Structure 1
Amino acid sequence: MRTFTRMAAVAGAAFVTLAAATAFAGDLRPFETKAFEAAQRAGTAIVVDVWASWCPTCAAQEPIIEKLISSPEFSSVTVFKVDFDKQKEVVQALGAQRQSTLIAFKGASETARSVGDTDAASIEALFRSALKN
């Protein structure tokens, strides 16, 4: 019985930790035009991540982005991931010349853009620009 109680306590603690982490998590989703446009109309803080599976710079950006959206400060940011190879029309419409492009928006207004940046502080500044009114 004690083993079951300990297991239940451990499982409960893990659930509370996971729930707390998810409570602050921003939204990370594949790019869909309708969802992106709805987020813009709503005035949402948005970061568009133009990435490619084969891109080492994109791979370096990924943990930085994941860390930022898991923090309370950026819990209201929605990150839309655009596949550079499969979503060419979207890439072109956004004016992205290369993969590893990050574009921040506050609603429909672009607030910052970077290409090939793997510096955590400057990516954080890009995210922060999407939060400004």
Structure 2
Amino acid sequence: MRAFTRMAAFAGTAFVTLIAATAFAGELKPFETTAFEAAQQAGNPIVVDIWASWCPTCAAQEPIVEKLAALPDFSEATVFKVDFDKQKDVVQALGAQRQSTLIAFKGASETARSVGDTDPASIETLFRSALTN
């Protein structure tokens, strides 16, 4: 019985931790023009992640982007995921040449861009650039 009580207490703590982490998390969502434009008009921090399912660099970037989006520092940021193969019009409108492109915005102003970067520190710098006023 005592082991069950400890296990239940641990599960409860884990649940509360998960809820708290979720409350601080930035939002990851598929790119939609209207949502992107609304976030820009509101002056929000934005990161656009142009990825492809077959891209090994994109696969390396994915856990870094997800981890950063979950940090309290980036709770106000929205990460828009653009499918390189299916959203060619968006890729072109953003001036991207390749998949594995990350573009940071503060509102409508582009603050940073990288292509093929898998260094967590420099990707974090890109994210932080979207927070500047």
> Deviations 1:49-76 (Å, cap 9, x if unpaired)?
0000000000010111111111111111
User: Which segments of 5 or more consecutive residues in structure 2 lack a partner in the other structure?
Assistant: none
Q: 1:38-117 maps to which residues of 2 (within 5 A)?
A: 38-117=38-117
**TM score, norm. by length of structure 1:** 0.94
Please tell me the root mean square deviation across aligned C-alpha atoms, in Å.
1.3
Is residue 2:123 matched to residue 1:130?
no
- C-alpha distance in 2 between matches for 1:79 and 1:129: 13
Change over 3 Å in CA distance of 1:40–1:6 after alignment to 2 = same
Identity %: 83
- C-alpha distance in 2 between matches for 1:88 and 1:74: 28
User: Which segments of 5 or more consecutive residues in structure 1 lack a partner in the other structure?
Assistant: none
Q: Secondary structure at the match of 1:113?
A: strand
The aligned length equals 133
- C-alpha distance in 1 between matches for 2:128 and 2:11: 35
The Cα shift of 1:116 comes to 0.5
The Cα shift of 1:5 comes to 4.3
- C-alpha distance in 1 between matches for 2:103 and 2:32: 15
Provide runs of 4+ in structure 1 moved above 2 Å: 1-11
- C-alpha distance in 2 between matches for 1:105 and 1:32: 15
Worse-superposed segment, 13-22 or 51-60: 13-22
Instruction: Name the counterpart of 1:21.
Output: 21
- C-alpha distance in 1 between matches for 2:100 and 2:61: 8
